[in-house]
Amino acid sequence: MIGLAPKKWLAFAAVVVAIVGLFDSVYLTIHHYTAEPVPCSIVEGCEMVLTSAYAEVAGLPLAIFGAAAYFFAMIFAAMALFGRRGMWLLFGILATMMALFSAWLIYVQAALIGAFCQFCLLSAVSSSLLFIIFVISLISKPLPSPERIEE
């Protein structure tokens, strides 16, 4: 399992999705520290979610933790893309934790706050996609090694 290697297109897709999540999280972090309202054009409730008691941990916005998670997911996927096979397992562990935490946050928005934030939903989609990419890598057939092709 440590030698787990993704197909290159899966690792590349993971890098792209992680960059989207990183930009989203950095955007929310900047808005938190500048105290500017976040424009909510798709769903109503961004400010309600982003100013709730669930939006911070120890005085830090959840978005800053999301930015760190997406940054490391991007690094792990990029390292796997360039041949560091063990990094894909770290990517998968992180992607799984991110998807589970996103599921919890969707529950919090729906059941406890009663409002949704489109940027939070984008993050949930991004982390879910990272997890799906990892699962696809586990169930897809590995590419044959060059040694086996020549035989």
Query: What average pLDDT does this structure show over 85-90?
Result: 92
Number of neighbours of residue 145 by Cβ within 10 angstroms:
9
Nearest Cα to Cα of residue 106 among 97, 95, 117: 117
**Cβ contact 21:126 at 8 Å:** yes
Given pLDDT bands bounded at 50, 70 and 90, which one contains residue 40?
Answer: confident
Is 72 a residue whose pLDDT tops 90?
A: yes
Name beta bridge partners: 60. 57
Task: Note the pLDDT of residue 41.
Answer: 82
Q: Does the structure show a pLDDT above 50 at 116?
A: yes
Of the ranges 66-75, 93-102, 106-115, 137-146, which one carries the lowest mean pLDDT score?
137-146
Rg of the chain in Å (alpha carbons): 18
Please provide the DSSP assignment of the chain as one string.
Answer: -TT----HHHHHHHHHHHHHHHHHHHHHHHHHHHTPPPP-SSSS-HHHHHTSGGGEETTEEHHHHHHHHHHHHHHHHHHHHTT-THHHHHHHHHHHHHHHHHHHHHHIIIIII----HHHHHHHHHHHHHHHHHHHHHHSPPPPPHHHHH-
Q: Please, what is the average pLDDT of the chain?
A: 90
pLDDT reported for residue 149: 45
Q: What pTM did the predictor assign?
A: 0.88
What is the model's pLDDT at position 151?
Answer: 44
The predicted pLDDT at position 65 comes to 98
Average pLDDT score over residue span 76-90: 93
In sequence order, what are the beta bridge partners of 61? Answer: 56
Domain ranges of the chain: 8-141
Q: What is the per-residue pLDDT for 143?
A: 55
8-141: which CATH topology? de novo design (two linked rop proteins) (1.20.1440)
